[in-house]
Chain A
Amino acid sequence: MPIISTSGLSRTFRTRHGEVTAVRGIDLTVRPGEILGFLGPNGAGKSTTLRMLSTLLPPTGGAATVVGHDLLRDPAGVRRKIGYVAQSGGVDPQETVRSELVLQGRLHGMSRTEATARAAELARDLDLTELLDRGSTALSGGQRRRLDIALGLTHRPALLFLDEPTTGLDPGSRTALWTLVRRLRDEHGTTVVLTTHYLDEADALADRLVIIDKGVVAAEGTPAALKAEHAADTLQDAFLAVTGRTPAPVEHAPVAV
């Protein structure tokens, strides 16, 4: 049974300047234990799709089942099973690393003791132990990103959504995160859906890729299959072929600065 299946999932925003259709109908099937990469240009609808699948944003069309629960009829059931790390994070600047981690555990129904123990474990996994008693404003961008990720892992979710988890991470932290994601899958069978703009990351980490463009699935397959299909040497070339942005010819008007 797929862990995510969607049909025609779509979302239109109403703004002052008219309607914006961010997602036009996405059909997607994700198998348990898969690491799925979402690729796509800025504004393609990746975050909007993730926010719908994690119950934060009601779809304006279509349907989805997430970890066995109907997204529209049983959002509470979905929330118990998933972890979600937003593209721009979600840490309160008035709190310390430890209090954020403990709160997260307690909101997932842990006792204070359990939540405290889990906070220490997460800090170890995300290399935050030294920082536990720091205020979150005193973290660097990458350290805060690691805290965001730790918060999403608190309850050992069966399905984890990571929206650009490695943006702003140094190379060491990035490879550490790749290792962590693989370990989550190998040791706990966690399914991970992540978005990224780093194609080397997608190539190295994801079992399967979904390229979203203008709110629809433009291509999907394993990194190797995508490259083969577009006779491309690199994922970068395949991506550009799919999204219709082939490298521009060189001579052009001078750059206006």
Chain B
Amino acid sequence: MLLHDTAVLFGRYARQTLRSPFQIFFGTLMPLLYLFFFGPLLTGLPLGREGDSWQVLVPGLLLQLGLFGASFAGFAVIMEKNWGVLERLQVTPVSRLALLLGRVLRDAALFVFQAVLLVLAALAMGLRAPLAGILIGFGFVALLTFSLAALSYVLALRLPSPQEFGPAVNTLAMPSMLLSGLMLPMALAPGWLDVLSRFMPFRYLVDAVRDAYVGHYATPTMFYGVLVALGLTALAVTVGTRTFRRAGA
């Protein structure tokens, strides 16, 4: 039931995405600009971490891609709600979890695809990193975008008016990006900023991916990163299913 419904809905949403090349590539634009025009500025700087500047920057750009892409995913469900499609789906016996998973898996697949494009471009710019590390990085992108997209749907469905969705997401996403040290590692930060950033879940993710990019797979940082990623995923599925169960309200 759940598997069948999820597969059917994933298929529908994936086909919708494939019909829109703009949607497929647009998300890579901002991180690519950073890669081309910001990346070269860092090559000679001491960044307070092991590895060269690309091994520090690219993990940050991967999470930036995921953070901004996935947190706006909720727009799609606002549209579906306005068209009456959401109610039409909700009145069928389809599994409520599948209503969430079908979309969220499409989103995660899209963002991992964009992450692959970004890493290919980064390789051309001079990134060198172990293959296992790069694959672990994609794993983190998958978990992050899965959870964030789900939470974005929750936000979109729970906000009293949809016009508030865009501003609300921007207000959350910008500080999250800055406080997680996505562009430059928090190792450079003064004490207070470093402390503040420890309250940002994304910091643990980006630090874990940076470890993976220099070939360290069994570090406490990696452990915390995995813990945070799984925690976010569990939270997102729980809250998401509950929201889709009563989203008629």
Contact = CB atoms under 8 A, between A and B. Distances in A.
Contacts of B19: 94
Interface size class of A (residues with CB under 8 A): 20 to 34
A88 B85 CA distance: 10
Contact of A80 (B5, B8, B87, B93): B93
Interface size class of B (residues with CB under 8 A): 20 to 34
Contact of B248 (A57, A76, A91, A95): A57
Nearest to A80: B93
B164 interface: no
Contacts of B4: 106, 109
Interface string B210-248: 000000000000000000000000000000000000101
A196 interface: no
Interface in A195-229: none
A232 interface: no
B93 A108 contact: yes
A167 B167 CA distance: 37
Interface stretch (A24-32, A48-56, A179-187, A234-242): A48-56
B248 A107 contact: no
Contacts of A72: none
Contacts, number: 66
A92 B91 contact: no
A58 interface: yes
Given A86-B87, A89-B84, A107 B249 contact: no
Interface in A6-36: 16
A73 to B, nearest CB: 14
Given A94-B19, A104-B92, A86 B8 contact: no
Nearest to A106: B8
B91 A79 contact: yes
B237 to A, nearest CB: 19
Interface in B1-20: 1, 4-5, 8-9, 12, 16, 19
Interface SS of B by simple majority: helix
Nearest to B247: A56
B80 A92 contact: yes
B94 interface: yes
Contacts of A95: 12, 16
Given A56-B91, A56-B248, A109-B93, A90 B8 contact: no
Interface of B: 1, 4-5, 8-9, 12, 16, 19, 80, 83-94, 160, 246, 248-249
Interface of A: 16, 51, 54-58, 76, 79-80, 82, 84, 86, 88-95, 99, 103-104, 106-109, 151
The 7 A-B residue pairs with the shortest CB-CB distance, nearest first, are A90-B88, A90-B84, A56-B248, A107-B92, A107-B94, A79-B93, A84-B91
Given A79-B91, A95-B16, A106-B4, 13 more contacts: A56-B91, A56-B248, A57-B249, A58-B246, A80-B93, A92-B80, A99-B12, A103-B8, A103-B12, A104-B88, A108-B92, A109-B1, A151-B88
